[in-house]
Structure 1
Amino acid sequence: MTLTVQPHRESVGLKPGRLYLGGEWVAASDTWTHRHPATGEVIGEFASATKSDVDTAVAAARTAFGTWSTARAGTRVTLLHRYAELLREHAEELRALQALDNSVPVSFTSGIYAMSVAAAADVFDHHAGWVDKLGGQTLPPYQGGDHLAMTFREPIGVVAAILPWNAPFLLFAQKVAPALAAGCTVVVKPSEYATFTVLRMVELLAEAGLPAGVVNVVTGPGDPVGEALITHAGVDKVSFTGSRAVGKRIVEASAGTLKRVSLELGGKSPALVFADAPNVGLAAATVVGAVTLGLSGQACVANTRALVHRDVYDEFLAAAQGVASAVTYGDPFDPGVLACPLVNERQLDRVLGYIERGRGEGRLVMGGQRLGGDLAAGFFVGPTIFADVENSATIAQEEIFGPVLAVIPFEDEDEAVAIANDTEYGLGASVFTAGAQRAFRVSRRLRAGTIGINGFQIEPHLPFGGFNQSGLGREGGASSIEAFTELKSVLMPLTEEMM
């Protein structure tokens, strides 16, 4: 039976995708036709913005900044909480839209917290709590005299929020929530492979009462839309999640106006499985699940390198293959489907190329091919596990962004840490051990932004970002407020004499 998602498209009631500029939904002169990655079917069309459209969006955000940045704290708090509730109320609809966008199964977005609408709502609720706490300090005069030394934290200005396709709920929230809480205005540029979800999220912001121009949306491919946005003189900050190549281009583009940047650029995260792991099978399930379930390894923080002690190496491999063999594919609306296809043909070719390279770099123990039959029209690649991989291998060093796991043996703790840190990236890591002292000791030695002990989770109130070439800055918790504000120092004499 040929796989189709067209009945779901009709039931969701997909709307034509337009630009959102200054509080108005606007058509564009050009459009992008979106095809579903699981079936190749046309899902719908949305506007592809021009440089002029980007100019309009930035101008609207600049105009709105004057009023939003000075809005009463209570106004912003109420609106952000109201929006969080709207997200929760529309969770089923948003999950369906994402399944039409990128084919991530609804079973995954309803069951995995970090991928859920609930997580996005929690991010907005958390940052609403910061609005009335954006305080500075009053400091004693360092040089003596009768004056006040004070600091204020003020919004940075107009923010360009550029989103990837894989986790639109959470990543929209991680960028837009702290920006709005801080008093910034935003121009959002979603991925062309996950646009309809973001458009609906913005529509709900308007329903929550967000004033016109505070958030604007320009849709379309990175060139020309993203390029026009990152080079725009009216943008004060760029917050981007995506590839390292684009991140470097943003740094180059920011030099002309010294834009502030926050960049999350991927990873090659290790999972360190020690011989005393509480449950080796569960460790294998956790690691393999992150690489194969849901996003099929198209997640920046997935543990795509498994560093396993030789004493439990065979046990880990056997468990890993068992978990991977249970992964199911197909209609993303089917609750029995657990994983998605790769997002497009270019990514399919890229992943298959890495797998071919890996055949000469390790022992292929399962997978390694594109899936056919009823799935032949989609970009499906089955779970792929390579064993006995050297950490210098291409498949152990480069971010593949697919369901490919490299398993690397180690002898002792020092070797495990050395292998884990031998990478250009540093986004995340996991440590599986029963020893609390080892868990903390190893976590402190790892060069990565987020470390999970016997598991891994994303939390709204914790900073997220990476070391090395995994990016610049952090988003989440208090770090988000710092990322979207500037510090200002003010000195005020308390007498008629000059300081």
Structure 2
Amino acid sequence: MPHLQGPTETRTSSGVLVTTGGLPMSERARELGAGVTRTYIDGAWHDAVTDERWQHHHPATGEPDFTVCVSSSNEVDRAVRAARRAFDEGPWARMTARERKLALRPLGDLIRAHEREFAQLQSLDNGLPVTVGGGFRFSAHFAADVFEYFTGWIDKLDGLAPPVYTEEINNQLITIKEPVGVVAAITPFNAPVMQFAQKVAPALAAGCTVVFKPSEYATNVAALYARLIERLDLPTGVFNLVPGTASTSQALVAHPLVDKVAFTGRRSVGEQILTTAAPGLKRVQLELGGKSPSIVFDDVEDIGRTAQYAMSLVSMGLSGQLCSTQTRALVHRSVYDDFVAAAAEQLKEVHLGDSFDPAVTSTPLVNPAASDRVMRLIEGAIAEGVRPVVGGNRITVPGGGNWVEPTLFTDVTPDMEIAHEEVFGPVLVAIPFDTEEEAIRIANDSEYGLSAGVYTRDTSRAVRVARRLRTGTVGVNSLFVATPTAPFGGYKTSGLGREGGRDGLEGYLETKTISIPLG
């Protein structure tokens, strides 16, 4: 039997509960069969052609637990060419709507049947607590809903037949929708179950073929998806998986036979993708970073509950490692002090530790570089005169782990680095405002525009302010709640295109116009 270390509980000075001990992550990896050493190309699994392996360390403990193969440029080339053949020569893009719909329909049930395995592999990959991974947005149930939603669109992709415009051009025009072609899909570490579905489901429904490259911190989830897709009656080459690191992504984006790149991740990488994709004019869909504001007015029903909710968005779940997280709290000055006091109290609800422990609430940062970067921003803010009400420290636990204490900053002005730089960690800044106009100005004073929140009992104000915010999504009295039917994406440097809803499907389609002379 594997050795089970006795748990030890301590609390930080801000009240955060930290539990250490438990089953070693290397043992969990063995139990779950974790580690990906093969590619899935042209309908078959292949051993990696090189011995290069990337060593995964679990973010909660720092333990080495499994390895991932690094697909070479030759393997990427094989995968893209397989997808190209499947698109150009195979039946997938030319199937009838009914045939493609029947081919994809079983996948939703297969995903739901493996719900527990998805949650466990996600937790092993990126440290997301299993209880959070079982929640709707990050769960296999959500992913299954996404696949079923887009499968439902397959027989509804109709075009137009506009009336004859003028007697001088007596032609009937018709428009039809066609798949864009070979899609390179590249996803991040933070929500791998959801991200896979958001990209692959609309691509396959549209009739595209896919080469999928997951983050090295989320490869086990992608491999499980590949095993389930293998059980479908799809033509070979329609779906391909190439695990690896940044070099694998670069080879995939640069490949001349790729028609579209769909990427979620850092803004800097998105800019590199645009540059790499430019020579062939590839279609590019990007979901990038954010510095999302929450605007808290003085008429909220319960300022204490609102403050604790705002703090929980960075302290619980993914610990701020979600691009749409509301990390700037703009609070009306009359309730500012009450907001700050209540938000600080929320840290007593935070429980850090083994991501497989049902009591644990929060994810560690994904790697040491991420925790170092967050700490540099925290220390830079303090040097700039910002006051940490709670937090601001690195949490050191026996054996390691990438833990930063959830942090609440006051005395922040909108021009400070901590107020405009994406932290991607458990940090909330609180900024006071006096008028609605000032709040909107501060909220829009950002190079990002992914999401926002408006907190008020006045519905007219909520809609009025939401309309004026330069951001792709707005939640009223909550975080924006993603569903399969809702378009999601950003303004400004937060990205290009949308995921979800009919808008998300359009990104994988081309529109062709046919002109027929009538006389």
Query: Where on the TM-score scale, by shorter chain, does this alignment land: which range?
Result: over 0.9
Q: Describe the superposition over 1:187-224 as per-residue Cα deviations: whole angstroms up to 9, x where unpaired.
A: 101001111111111211112333321111111111x1
Once residues 367 and 421 of structure 2 are traced to their aligned partners in structure 1, the CA distance between those partners, rounded to angstroms, is 19
**Aligned residues with identical type, % of pairs:** 48
- 1:377-456 aligned within 5 A: 377-456=400-479
Which runs of 5 or more residues in structure 2 are unaligned? 1-5, 7-20
Once residues 15 and 243 of structure 1 are traced to their aligned partners in structure 2, the CA distance between those partners, rounded to angstroms, is 25
**Aligned equivalent of 1:45:** 67
- 1:98-113 aligned within 5 A: 98-111=122-135, 113=136
Q: TM-score by structure 2 length?
A: 0.93
Shift of 1:282: 2.5
**SS of 1:149 mapped into structure 2:** strand
Matched, 1:6 2:26: yes
Say which of 257, 270, 276 aligns to 1:247: 270
Q: TM-score by structure 1 length?
A: 0.96
Matched, 1:158 2:189: no
Once residues 410 and 16 of structure 1 are traced to their aligned partners in structure 2, the CA distance between those partners, rounded to angstroms, is 50
Once residues 382 and 18 of structure 1 are traced to their aligned partners in structure 2, the CA distance between those partners, rounded to angstroms, is 37
**SS of 1:230 mapped into structure 2:** helix
Say which of 346, 353, 357 aligns to 1:330: 353
Once residues 444 and 300 of structure 1 are traced to their aligned partners in structure 2, the CA distance between those partners, rounded to angstroms, is 21
**Aligned equivalent of 2:12:** none
2:35·2:68 contact (CA, 8 Å) conserved in 1? no
Say which of 200, 207, 211 aligns to 1:176: 200
Say which of 187, 190, 211 aligns to 2:214: 190
Shift of 1:54: 0.7
**SS of 1:409 mapped into structure 2:** strand
1:325·1:383 contact (CA, 8 Å) conserved in 2? no
Once residues 308 and 205 of structure 2 are traced to their aligned partners in structure 1, the CA distance between those partners, rounded to angstroms, is 38
Shift of 1:121: 1.1
Once residues 518 and 349 of structure 2 are traced to their aligned partners in structure 1, the CA distance between those partners, rounded to angstroms, is 73
Q: In the alignment, residue 363 of structure 1 is paired with which amino acid?
A: R
1:17·1:199 contact (CA, 8 Å) conserved in 2? no
Q: In the alignment, residue 176 of structure 2 is paired with which amino acid?
A: F
Once residues 387 and 80 of structure 1 are traced to their aligned partners in structure 2, the CA distance between those partners, rounded to angstroms, is 51
Shift of 1:319: 1.7
1:5·1:331 contact (CA, 8 Å) conserved in 2? no
Q: In the alignment, residue 190 of structure 2 is paired with which amino acid?
A: N
Q: In the alignment, residue 193 of structure 2 is paired with which amino acid?
A: F
Q: In the alignment, residue 150 of structure 2 is paired with which amino acid?
A: H
Shift of 1:12: 1.8
**Aligned equivalent of 2:296:** 273
2:36·2:219 contact (CA, 8 Å) conserved in 1? no
Shift of 1:104: 0.4
Task: Decide which moves more: 420-429 or 285-294.
Answer: 285-294
Shift of 1:252: 0.8
Say which of 74, 79, 83 aligns to 1:57: 79
Once residues 463 and 16 of structure 1 are traced to their aligned partners in structure 2, the CA distance between those partners, rounded to angstroms, is 32
Cα 1:209–1:42 change in 2 (3 A) is farther
1:105·1:334 contact (CA, 8 Å) conserved in 2? yes
Once residues 139 and 276 of structure 1 are traced to their aligned partners in structure 2, the CA distance between those partners, rounded to angstroms, is 50
**SS of 2:395 mapped into structure 1:** coil
Task: Decide which moves more: 208-217 or 186-195.
Answer: 208-217
Task: Decide which moves more: 39-48 or 126-135.
Answer: 39-48
**Aligned equivalent of 1:128:** 151
**Aligned equivalent of 1:27:** 47
Q: In the alignment, residue 58 of structure 1 is paired with which amino acid?
A: V
**Aligned equivalent of 2:116:** 92
Q: In the alignment, residue 25 of structure 2 is paired with which amino acid?
A: V
Once residues 98 and 306 of structure 2 are traced to their aligned partners in structure 1, the CA distance between those partners, rounded to angstroms, is 45
Once residues 397 and 201 of structure 2 are traced to their aligned partners in structure 1, the CA distance between those partners, rounded to angstroms, is 43
Q: Describe the superposition over 1:398-449 as per-residue Cα deviations: whole angstroms up to 9, x where unpaired.
A: 1010001111011111111000000000000000000011000000010000
Once residues 276 and 334 of structure 2 are traced to their aligned partners in structure 1, the CA distance between those partners, rounded to angstroms, is 50
RMSD of Structure 2 on Structure 1 (CA):
1.3
Task: Decide which moves more: 13-22 or 160-169.
Answer: 13-22
2:352·2:360 contact (CA, 8 Å) conserved in 1? yes
Shift of 1:331: 0.8
Task: Decide which moves more: 49-58 or 74-83.
Answer: 74-83
Once residues 267 and 126 of structure 1 are traced to their aligned partners in structure 2, the CA distance between those partners, rounded to angstroms, is 27
Once residues 41 and 146 of structure 1 are traced to their aligned partners in structure 2, the CA distance between those partners, rounded to angstroms, is 72
**Aligned equivalent of 1:473:** 497
Task: Decide which moves more: 425-434 or 208-217.
Answer: 208-217
**Aligned equivalent of 2:17:** none
Once residues 348 and 199 of structure 1 are traced to their aligned partners in structure 2, the CA distance between those partners, rounded to angstroms, is 27
Matched, 1:460 2:460: no
Once residues 299 and 100 of structure 2 are traced to their aligned partners in structure 1, the CA distance between those partners, rounded to angstroms, is 49
Shift of 1:146: 4.4
Once residues 16 and 465 of structure 1 are traced to their aligned partners in structure 2, the CA distance between those partners, rounded to angstroms, is 31
Q: Describe the superposition over 1:345-373 as per-residue Cα deviations: whole angstroms up to 9, x where unpaired.
A: 11111011001011124111011111123
Once residues 80 and 53 of structure 1 are traced to their aligned partners in structure 2, the CA distance between those partners, rounded to angstroms, is 26
Once residues 286 and 72 of structure 1 are traced to their aligned partners in structure 2, the CA distance between those partners, rounded to angstroms, is 48
Paired residues, number: 492
Cα 1:269–1:361 change in 2 (3 A) is farther
Once residues 39 and 482 of structure 2 are traced to their aligned partners in structure 1, the CA distance between those partners, rounded to angstroms, is 31
Matched, 1:114 2:137: yes
Shift of 1:482: 1.1
Say which of 157, 162, 181 aligns to 1:139: 162
**Aligned equivalent of 1:232:** 255
Q: In the alignment, residue 49 of structure 1 is paired with which amino acid?
A: S
